[in-house]
């Protein structure tokens, strides 16, 4: 078994198991905590619509905070949109997903994806610079913040290097790229990257509580 076969085969499979298992463990650990009923008389109906509302609206910054948070917000938008496009709209990835799920969908031209990939890396660097220079972020950051940044950037960088082919064989670059994705999948449920799924709970529950009060969400 060569490196590429290993990466595509057992490595990816084990990483996927850890991703699913870790995510379920973390979610169950949180969801199983006991809930106390709220007996206060609601001003408005909360429930699922309120949760869905805030899951959507909190993606945008309220006017009073726009100026102060412009830089990290813009960079975060570029990073998230870029990651989505690179992961799900790159034709070779779609072919890969089709092999797993049987579904396919139209992708974006490769050049556009490369451009988005570069933009995503640049936004990542911009966010890292902010983390390393802002007194607030220097204080509150920990290992998770830096390691999560690293495992997110690695597949992007290794993916962008594949077409370069100057120093390595295509097969080796692809294997390294897939292994870096494995690392990302393995880490995702455990650290801050868990916000991929936790965001629905944090925003959703806040939406339900505050919308019920008729308060600002």
Partner 1 sequence: MTTVDGRHELDREAERLAYKPPEIRHDKQGDLDSEERINKAMYNFVKNFNTQTASYLDGCLHCGMCADACHFHVRTDDPRYTPIWKIELFKRTYKRQVGPFAFFYRLLGLKRHVTIKDLEEWQHLLYDSCTVCGRCSLVCPMGIDIAGLVSMARHGMFKAGLVPHELHETAKRAAETGSPLGITPEKFEERVEWMADEHEVDIPLNVEQADVLAVMSSIEIQKYPESIAATAKILNAAGESWTFRTDGFEATNFGMLSGNPEWQKEASMKLINTAIKIGAKTLVLPECGHAYMAMRWMGANMYGKPLPFKVLHISEYLADALNTGKIKVGKVDKSVAYHDPCQVSRRGGATQAARDVLKHLGVDHREMKNGGDYNWCCGGGGGVITIKRADKLRHRVFKLKMDQVEETEADELLSSCANCRQSFDDSQEHFSWDYKMGSLMEMVAENLEEGTA
Strand, coil or helix: 105 = coil
Residues in contact with partner 1, counted by CB under 8 A, come to a total of 61
Task: Give the x/- contact pattern for partner 1 in 135-154, rule: CB under 8 A.
Answer: xxxxxxxxxxx---------
User: At its nearest, how many Å lie between partner 1 and the CB of residue 123?
Assistant: 13
- Rounded to an integer, what distance in angstroms lies between the CA atom of residue 90 and that of residue 83? 11
Q: Does 43 bind partner 1 (CB under 8 A)?
A: yes
Q: Does 202 bind partner 1 (CB under 8 A)?
A: yes
Q: Does 95 bind partner 1 (CB under 8 A)?
A: no
The tokens of 167 are what?
């120093």
Residues in a beta bridge with 90: 108
Distance set, CA 142 to CA 96, 146, 147, 174, 191 (Å): 34, 7, 9, 31, 11
Cβ atoms of 174 and 92 within 8 Å: the answer is: no
Q: Does 110 bind partner 1 (CB under 8 A)?
A: no
Q: Which residue lies nearer to partner 1 by CB, 145 or 172?
A: 145
Cβ atoms of 35 and 208 within 8 Å: the answer is: no
User: Which residues of this chain interact with partner 1, rule CB under 8 A?
Assistant: 25-26, 28-31, 33-36, 38-41, 43-44, 54, 58-59, 61-65, 68-69, 72-73, 76, 134-145, 190, 192, 194-195, 198-199, 201-207, 209-210, 213-217
């Amino acid at each position: 078994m060569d490196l590429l076969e290993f990466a595509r085969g057992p490595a990816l499979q084990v990483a996927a198991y850890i991703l699913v298992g870790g995510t379920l463990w973390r979610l169950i650990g949180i969801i199983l905590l006991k809930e106390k009923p709220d007996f206060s008389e609601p001003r408005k109906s909360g429930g699922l619509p309120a949760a869905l509302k805030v899951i959507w609206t909190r993606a945008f910054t309220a006017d009073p905070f726009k100026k102060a948070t412009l830089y990290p917000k813009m960079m975060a938008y570029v990073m998230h949109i870029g990651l989505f496009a690179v992961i799900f709209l790159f034709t070779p990835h779609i072919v890969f997903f089709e092999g797993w799920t049987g579904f396919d969908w139209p992708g974006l031209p490769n050049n556009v994806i490369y451009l988005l990939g570069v933009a995503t890396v640049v936004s990542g660097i911009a966010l890292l610079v902010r983390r390393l220079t802002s007194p607030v972020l220097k204080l509150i950051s920990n290992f998770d913040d830096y390691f999560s940044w690293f495992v997110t950037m690695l597949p992007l960088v290794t993916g962008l290097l594949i077409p370069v082919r100057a120093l390595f064989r295509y097969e080796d670059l692809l294997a390294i790229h897939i292994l870096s994705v494995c690392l990302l999948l393995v880490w995702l449920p455990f650290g801050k990257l868990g916000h991929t799924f936790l965001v629905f709970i944090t925003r959703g529950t806040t939406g339900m509580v505050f919308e019920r009060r008729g308060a600002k969400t």
